[in-house]
Amino acid sequence: MFAKLEGVEKRFVETESLLSDPRTLQDRRLYEKCMREHAELGRVVSVFRDYRRTDAELKESLELLNDSDPEIKALARDEVARLEQQKTELEQALKLLLIPKDRNDEKNVIVEIRAGTGGEEAALFASDLFRMYLRYAENRGWRVEIMDRHATGVGGLKEIIAMIHGKGAYSRFKFESGTHRVQRVPATETQGRIHTSAVTVAVLPEAEEVDVHIDPGEIKVDVYRSTGPGGQSVNTTDSAVRITHLPTGLVVTCQDEKSQLKNKNKAMKVLRARLLDARIREQNEQRSAERKSQIGSGDRSGRIRTYNFPQGRVTDHRIGLTLYKLESILQGELDMIIDELAAYYQAQALQNADKGSLGAAN
């Protein structure tokens, strides 16, 4: 571990030199990349230097235990106990810092919610989930921007795409990626039978131009008239935008704004996020099974949570957590689940670190 830490410190010094290099200052992408890396490495280096300083002080105090003066020996014993505790705490902190971090954790996030099996009931639950996320974001002081939506006639949502603006948004919302199952009696059910429906949630970190460069020659932009609610301009001007990324075949549409330019800008944000997500998935597939087991692998195929209305119960299947607080959770009190998930995966990663399988620090 300490050889790795020395390598981190060496790279930290290198980034300091790069940031003062005129060539770096002239390249915006390189400068921003170096700034991020310098800040990330700085957190590790600061604790590592504290650890080395504590270790040196501990060695000096241990030598004083052999002093002939009883008072000095007594003071040394107290100091040794304090420094040993401090050294242990700093070593634990270093292990946590060396656990591979998700570079996207501090980013804004794009959340895509789609109704799955269950027809109109699934669309209604998609609307419920969106309101849950909206309230959660508001509680944390984050701003929600609708990118695109397709509503049903009775208040449901076939699909909605929204961006959550807030530092660390991805670090929290990434736990929501997967299939959400709801068990309840639909309003249209006359015999009181419980139906099971499903909604899929995709969570993508916002991709900036420095993360994903899109060649203008590799996209096809189509404009058409918006459909559905939206006030004036809808069905009268070609404000809706469809962007096709030719190399991958990805298609993104946006019609939420009356302005064609605003719709295009929003669609480009979604396209960049999906391209970054595809790149992350490809990288994850090349990593070890151990890395894939950690949160952030992006696996959205499995059922992650069940919301049982008759019992007022929410169960997260990844960690076997069951809470009888359905109403509170739907009101946006998601931290009671997210905190448990974050703690579980951090403990798992720390256990791997203790076995000597620490990953490279970012």
Q: Where are the domains of the chain?
A: 2-98, 109-210+308-354, 216-283
Predicted local confidence at residue 256, as pLDDT: 80
Spatial distance between the Cα atoms of 39 and 29, rounded to a whole number of angstroms: 16
Out of 37-41, 127-131, 306-310, least confident range:
37-41
- Say if residue 252's pLDDT is above 70: yes
pTM value is: 0.65
Among candidates 134, 138, 135, 158, which has minimal Cα distance to 148? 158
The tens digit of pLDDT for each residue in 301-321 reads: 568 999 999 999 999 999 999
Out of 138-147, 296-305, 342-351, least confident range:
296-305
Residue 328, CA distances (Å) to 99, 136, 314, 320, 334 in order: 33, 11, 10, 19, 8
**Mean pLDDT (whole number) for 279-304:** 54
- Say if residue 55's pLDDT is above 80: yes
Residue 44 in tokens: 């590790």
Predicted local confidence at residue 209, as pLDDT: 63
The residue with tokens 């068990």 is 183
Predicted local confidence at residue 294, as pLDDT: 35
- Say if residue 254's pLDDT is above 60: yes
State whether CATH 1.10.1740.10 applies to domain 216-283. Answer: no
Query: At 282, is the pLDDT very low, low, confident or very high (cuts 50, 70, 90)?
Result: confident
Out of 114-123, 180-189, 282-291, least confident range:
282-291
Backbone angles phi, psi at 162, to 5 degrees: -135, 150
Domain covering 109-210+308-354 in this structure, CATH number:
3.30.70.1660
- Say if residue 232's pLDDT is above 60: no
Predicted local confidence at residue 286, as pLDDT: 57
Q: In terms of pLDDT, which residue wins out, 43 or 296?
A: 43
Report the chain's mean pLDDT, rounded to a whole number: 85
Predicted local confidence at residue 82, as pLDDT: 94
Residue 110, CA distances (Å) to 123, 160, 269, 288 in order: 19, 10, 9, 27
Query: At 358, is the pLDDT very low, low, confident or very high (cuts 50, 70, 90)?
Result: very low
**Mean pLDDT (whole number) for 129-133:** 97
**Mean pLDDT (whole number) for 98-121:** 86
Out of 137-141, 210-214, 299-303, least confident range:
299-303
**Mean pLDDT (whole number) for 97-112:** 84
End-to-end CA distance of the chain: 15
Q: In terms of pLDDT, which residue wins out, 278 or 76?
A: 76
Backbone angles phi, psi at 90, to 5 degrees: -70, -35
Predicted local confidence at residue 353, as pLDDT: 62
**Mean pLDDT (whole number) for 213-238:** 70
Spatial distance between the Cα atoms of 86 and 91, rounded to a whole number of angstroms: 9
Q: In terms of pLDDT, which residue wins out, 347 or 44?
A: 44
Among candidates 172, 171, 151, 160, which has minimal Cα distance to 129? 160
- Say if residue 167's pLDDT is above 80: yes
Spatial distance between the Cα atoms of 342 and 126, rounded to a whole number of angstroms: 24
- Say if residue 290's pLDDT is above 50: no
Q: In percent, how much of the chain has pLDDT > 70?
A: 87
Query: At 228, is the pLDDT very low, low, confident or very high (cuts 50, 70, 90)?
Result: low
Query: At 230, is the pLDDT very low, low, confident or very high (cuts 50, 70, 90)?
Result: very low
Pick from 15-24, 40-49, 129-138, 198-207 the range whose average pLDDT is largest: 129-138
**Mean pLDDT (whole number) for 104-119:** 90
Run of H or E residues at 151 = strand 143-151
